[in-house]
Chains A and B, each alone.
Chain A
Amino acid sequence: MKTNIAQLPETIVNQIKPPVVHPIWLRVTHWLNALAVIIMILSGWRIYNASPIFPFRIPSEWTLGGWLGGALQWHFAAMWLLFFNGLVYLLLNTGSGRLWKKFLPLRPTEVVQDFVKALRGKLQHDALDHYNAVQKLAYVSVILDLILLVVSGLAIWKSVQFPLLRELMGGFDNARVVHFCAMSFLVAFIVVHIIMVALVPRTLLAMLRGR
């Protein structure tokens, strides 16, 4: 007698097909966020070059927009994608309880232990659905960093209309420094993130097809 896979009890099906690590909404928001973040960073670098706050400029081949006006158009277009996509991610992630399940508990001692293991090359990426303490810290940090980027960006864009944000950032000029530092952290995260994906390519497959 032939058995159709659909007729099998769910538990057996789950044993045949590996479980879904990343639900579809997470994968969609992840890639939309990647697109928004790339546009924001590259156009932001050209805006930075118009009046650098530190004694260096970003090579213009690495920037997006062609000139200041174009870069501003890209930056202020992609910010809507970054903002609303981030909002959907946070709502679904907190609403479904996934955020706490994936990233908590986050214990400093475990972070240190796992970090030492990682430096010795002994930290295994064995289960895709389980993050080690270093991963938890990295992902929670980058979520908070993106929130800081949006808030400091808002303080620069609308420094008169949002006086509280402006003062929280230490004034208009300091908001630019905060925005730049938050961008630098994001870029550092992306570099490490891509290296890790290259080392463990099945994480990329999981982020594409869910398992």
Chain B
Amino acid sequence: MFKKNINLALDTESILKDAQRELALPSRRLFAKRALTLGGLSLLTGCNITDEPSVNSMLERISRMNDGVQGWLFDPKRLAPTYTQAEMTRPFPFNAFYAIEEVPEIDGDDYRLEISGLVSDKRSWTLQQLHKLPQNEQITRHICVEGWSAIGRWGGVPFSYFLKQIGADLSAKYIDFKCGDDYHTSIDMPTALHPQTQLTLTYDGQILPPKYGFPMKLRMPTKLGYKNPKHITSIEVTNSYPGGYWEDQGYNWFGGA
């Protein structure tokens, strides 16, 4: 009993000492400590703010605004850099939202390109008819949204020529593409009319192989990779926002480079 009292007395003394020391500490030191952990706190909450619906809708709104800014920055006459055959990336990487084994096999003889929307000639096109149109070739850089890039040689029909051929309303806002691999995306009219935007039928001088989008893809060196649809089966000219496979999940719609 006696011993315990001594301990208690000692404890009280040391606690008071500690308390006095704490009180003597400038409050600003404590404040600085808390401010430092505030940084840690903001990092922790960073994991959760991404799931917040109001934050997501704000980010979505800013992304739509960035579509507008990119449309304004886009110069319809400025060409993407072109390269020599020696600079080509070999092998050109395969990239899709599925594995290479799942690449669709499309029968070129049965293939029809469907045309709809604001066009005067809605007849569908066979592959042979597309190959008979005037063709050109370009060696350009494909830039992926992930950051990697690769240089490839693409041949086909200038898309602006094709749009005029089908009597498209060139003042319409969007072109929508539906594809044989259940992909879809859409682009703005100024990019569609850009001189380097191409209905692509060949890769490196050969018929477009399935992994790169047989029988036909759209190639745009002014846009990121996911905006370049493969295995296109239908084209629609429209004024209502069509979105796209990745775009509906949060990728920027304009996707310009």
Is B183 on the interface with A (CB-CB < 8 A)? no
Q: What is the bound-complex CA distance between A205 and B28, given in angstroms?
A: 8
CB distance from A31 to the nearest CB of B (A): 11
Give the nearest-CB partner of A167 in chain B. Answer: B81
B74, A161: Cβ atoms under 8 Å? Answer: yes
Is A53 on the interface with B (CB-CB < 8 A)? yes
Which secondary structure dominates chain A's binding surface? helix
Q: Which of B147, B250, B256 contacts A158 (CB 8 A)?
A: B256
Interface set, chain A 54-92, CB cutoff 8 A to B: 61-62, 64-70, 72-74, 76-77, 80
Kindly list chain B residues whose C-beta atoms are within 8 Å of the C-beta of A38: 42
A73, B28: Cβ atoms under 8 Å? Answer: no
B246, A69: Cβ atoms under 8 Å? Answer: yes
CB distance from A115 to the nearest CB of B (A): 25
Interface set, chain A 178-211, CB cutoff 8 A to B: 194, 197-198, 201-202, 204-205
Q: What is the bound-complex CA distance between A202 and B27, given in angstroms?
A: 11
Q: What is the bound-complex CA distance between A156 and B148, given in angstroms?
A: 11
Kindly list chain B residues whose C-beta atoms are within 8 Å of the C-beta of A205: 28, 31
B252, A160: Cβ atoms under 8 Å? Answer: no
CB distance from B91 to the nearest CB of A (A): 17
Kindly list chain A residues whose C-beta atoms are within 8 Å of the C-beta of B146: 50-51, 68
Kindly list chain A residues whose C-beta atoms are within 8 Å of the C-beta of B149: 172-173
B148, A65: Cβ atoms under 8 Å? Answer: no
Kindly list chain B residues whose C-beta atoms are within 8 Å of the C-beta of A160: 78, 80-81, 221-222, 256-257
Q: Mark A87-119, 1 if CB is under 8 A from B, else 0.
A: 000000000000000000000000000000000
Kindly list chain B residues whose C-beta atoms are within 8 Å of the C-beta of A77: 58-59, 62-63
Give the nearest-CB partner of A73 in chain B. Answer: B59
Is A36 on the interface with B (CB-CB < 8 A)? no
* Pairs across A and B, CB under 8 Å, 23 listed: A50-B146, A50-B147, A51-B144, A51-B147, A62-B43, A64-B46, A69-B249, A72-B145, A72-B252, A73-B59, A73-B250, A73-B252, A76-B63, A80-B62, A158-B257, A160-B78, A160-B80, A160-B81, A160-B221, A163-B78, A163-B81, A173-B149, A204-B35
CB distance from A151 to the nearest CB of B (A): 15
Kindly list chain B residues whose C-beta atoms are within 8 Å of the C-beta of A70: 50, 59, 250
Interface set, chain B 204-257, CB cutoff 8 A to A: 221-222, 246, 249-252, 256-257
Kindly list chain A residues whose C-beta atoms are within 8 Å of the C-beta of B251: 69, 72
Is A47 on the interface with B (CB-CB < 8 A)? yes
Known contacts A68-B146, A197-B32: does B257 contact A73 (CB below 8 Å)? no
Known contacts A51-B146, A74-B59, A77-B62: does B28 contact A202 (CB below 8 Å)? yes
Q: Which of A42, A51, A161, A198 contacts B46 (CB 8 A)?
A: A42
Is B39 on the interface with A (CB-CB < 8 A)? yes
Q: Which of B29, B58, B66, B221 contacts A76 (CB 8 A)?
A: B66
Q: Which of A68, A161, A172 contacts B145 (CB 8 A)?
A: A68
Q: Mark B61-88, 1 if CB is under 8 A from A, else 0.
A: 0110010001001110010110000000
CB distance from A16 to the nearest CB of B (A): 20
B78, A161: Cβ atoms under 8 Å? Answer: yes
A66, B51: Cβ atoms under 8 Å? Answer: yes
- 18 further A-B contacts with Cβ under 8 Å, apart from A50-B145, A51-B148, A76-B252, are A42-B43, A51-B146, A61-B47, A68-B145, A70-B250, A72-B145, A72-B250, A73-B63, A73-B252, A76-B62, A76-B63, A158-B256, A161-B75, A172-B141, A197-B32, A198-B36, A205-B28, A205-B31
Is A30 on the interface with B (CB-CB < 8 A)? no
Kindly list chain A residues whose C-beta atoms are within 8 Å of the C-beta of B46: 42, 64
CB distance from B235 to the nearest CB of A (A): 24
A176, B147: Cβ atoms under 8 Å? Answer: yes
Q: What is the bound-complex CA distance between A173 and B143, given in angstroms?
A: 10
Give the nearest-CB partner of B62 in chain A. Answer: A77
Q: What is the bound-complex CA distance between A77 and B143, given in angstroms?
A: 21
CB distance from B106 to the nearest CB of A (A): 28
Q: Which of B28, B39, B256 contacts A161 (CB 8 A)?
A: B256
Give the nearest-CB partner of B149 in chain A. Answer: A172
CB distance from B108 to the nearest CB of A (A): 32
Kindly list chain A residues whose C-beta atoms are within 8 Å of the C-beta of B39: 194
